[in-house]
Amino acid sequence: MTSVVSAVSTATVTVTGTSTAIVNVGSALPVIPLYSGSFTDNTVQTNAGTAVANTVSIGASDDANGITVADGTKIVYNYAGRYYFSFLGQFITTGGGSNYAVTMWHSVNGSAVTNSAYQYTTSGVGGQVLGNIADIVVVNAGDYVQFHWWSTNTYMRLTNVAAGSAPTRPASPSVNINTFNVG
């Protein structure tokens, strides 16, 4: 059996039989460098008040290339492009009130992104919910994204969970953010 494969460049490769061919097309295909970041926070982040937008703290950079954290709250993109991100926040209501809802959203360069808010509800006192925001943003070099939350329940907070034993299990951060370029 004979197959003909045409690459994006002007080269044509013919593969015969069951052999394998590796073709280097040189600069014919663009190579997009991978910029990525994985960030967490392992602290309890309390509600600053019922009329306050709480900005999420980021305490650790687990792995990053081309993306950094500034001022403990900003994910800074060092290169222009289109980036995907996923933000996970582990919320708990520790007491009081009858409203157990929390609203999360993100901003770019300090301005809230239109239609980026999502509301989650815990089951009551002691109830937890894992809130998630996933989106794609187009940024210029130096632009930053921040994450925010709000609740009328002053006992709402982002919470971490300590490592455990029997069975041994890792700690769970209050915040987990992953981001990478997609073009």
pLDDT of 32 reads: 74
DSSP, collapsed to helix, strand or coil, labels residue 26 as helix
Contacting residues for 128 by C-beta, under 8 A, at least 6 apart? 90, 91, 92, 122, 159
pLDDT tens, 42-77?
A: 999 999 999 999 999 999 999 999 999 999 999 999
Q: Is the pLDDT of residue 39 over 50?
A: yes
pLDDT of 11 reads: 46
Note the pTM of the prediction, 2 decimals: 0.82
Side-chain-facing half-sphere of 98: CA atoms under 13 Å:
0
pLDDT of 10 reads: 44
Q: Is the pLDDT of residue 111 over 50?
A: yes
DSSP, collapsed to helix, strand or coil, labels residue 75 as strand
> How long, in residues, is the chain?
183
Range of weakest confidence among 41-55, 78-92, 94-108: 94-108
| Domains identified in the chain and CATH numbers | 1-31 (no CATH), 33-181 (2.60.120.40)
Residue pair 168/159 in contact by the 8 Å Cβ criterion:
no
